[in-house]
Amino acid sequence: MEVDLERRWMTRPDRACRGEPLEIFFEKTNEAKAKAICRTCPVLHECRRDTLGEPYGVWGGRTAKQRKAIRKRTLDRAASWSRERRLEWGRICHDIYRRVRDWGRVRECTGLAGQLAEELAREWRLFQESNGPTIPEGPKLLRPNWPKGRPRADAWVWHSHQVRAANILGRTADSQWYRVQTFSGRAHVQPWVHVGDIQIFTTVEIPVMERLDRERYNKERRRRAA
C-alpha cells in the first residue's frame, strides 16, 4: 500500500465530485447525496485510502463518523498485526514523515490514530538499522577530497564542515560510528562520526564501545542530514 501525499487523483477530470458544490460534501443534510456521487467515482479507492484522517465531510463515500470508527478499530487491532504488516505500515509512516516532518500530517494521511504512526515508524527504523541498509535522512553534505599526507594523529575526519586530524577513542559494535578526539580552537572535542566521514591510518586495535543511546544516535544523524 502506498499513500499519495499530493492527492494527484483530485486533479483527474473524470472524478465524480468535479464541479459539484462543496456544501454537498460538508453538510450533514446532504450526506446521502454525497455518498451516491462517490459510489460512481473512478478514484473511490484512492480517495478512501488517503483521507482516513480527514475530520470533516464525506470522502470516498464515508462520513467523518465512519472514518473515526475505522481509525479506532485500527488502533484497537494494531497490537495483533503480524510483524510483516507492522513493518510495512512503519515504512509508509517513516517515508511520509521524511517528506513532511509533521506527525499530524502523517496521521491525517494514514488514518493511524494516537501515537501508533510514530510507534510503527520507530519499529521500521530499528529493523532497518539491525537488518538492512542505513536509511538515508536527506541530502548529505559533500566533503572535499581527503588530504594526500598522513595526519599526525590516527585518522582524518570530516567534522563541523572541515577535515581534521583526530585520534580514535573507540567504535560501535557495528563499526558504523567512531568516537574520535579532535581540536576546536584550544578545546578538545570528542564527537561521534560516521564511518563514511573518517579515513583511518592507525593499525592499533580500536576498542569497541557501547552503541550510542537512541537520543544521541538520532541527534548525530539529524546533524549530518541538516
Phi, psi of 131 (to 5 degrees): -130, -10
Residue 133 confidence (pLDDT): 45
Q: Are 53 and 111 in contact (CB under 8 A)?
A: yes
C-alpha count within 13 angstroms, C-beta hemisphere, residue 151: 19
> 12 and 108: one domain?
yes
* 208 shares its domain with 121: no
**Does residue 212 sit in the same domain as residue 111?**
no
Q: What is the pLDDT of residue 37?
A: 94
pLDDT reported for residue 206: 81
Cα 203 to chain centroid distance, Å, stands at 38
Is there a single domain that holds both residue 118 and residue 171?
A: no
Task: Assess whether 166 and 98 both reside in one domain.
Answer: no
Residue 150 CB-density burial (10 A; 0-12 exposed, 13-18 middle, 19+ buried): exposed
Number of structural domains, the chain? 2
Q: Enumerate residue ranges in the chain where pLDDT < 50.
A: 132-140
**76 is a domain residue:** yes
Do 39 and 95 fall within a single domain?
yes
Is residue 159 domain-shared with residue 115, that is, in the same domain?
no
- Whether residue 98 lies inside any domain: the answer is yes
The whole model's pTM is what? 0.53
Q: What is the pLDDT of residue 149?
A: 82
pLDDT at 213: 57
Q: What is the pLDDT at residue 114?
A: 73
What domain range includes position 181? 155-225
- Please check whether residues 17 and 56 belong to one and the same domain: yes
46-56 pLDDT tens trace: 999 888 888 88
Output the pLDDT for position 137. Answer: 47
> Does one domain contain both 45 and 106?
yes
For position 62, what pLDDT does the model report?
93
Least Cα distance to 139 among 212, 54, 61, 224 occurs for 224
Whole-number average pLDDT of the chain: 81
Q: Are residues 192 and 114 in the same domain?
A: no
Phi-psi region of 160 (alpha: psi -120 to 50; beta: other; left: phi over 0): left
Q: What is the pLDDT of residues 148-202, one digit of tens each?
A: 888 888 888 887 777 888 988 888 877 888 888 887 666 677 888 888 888 888 7
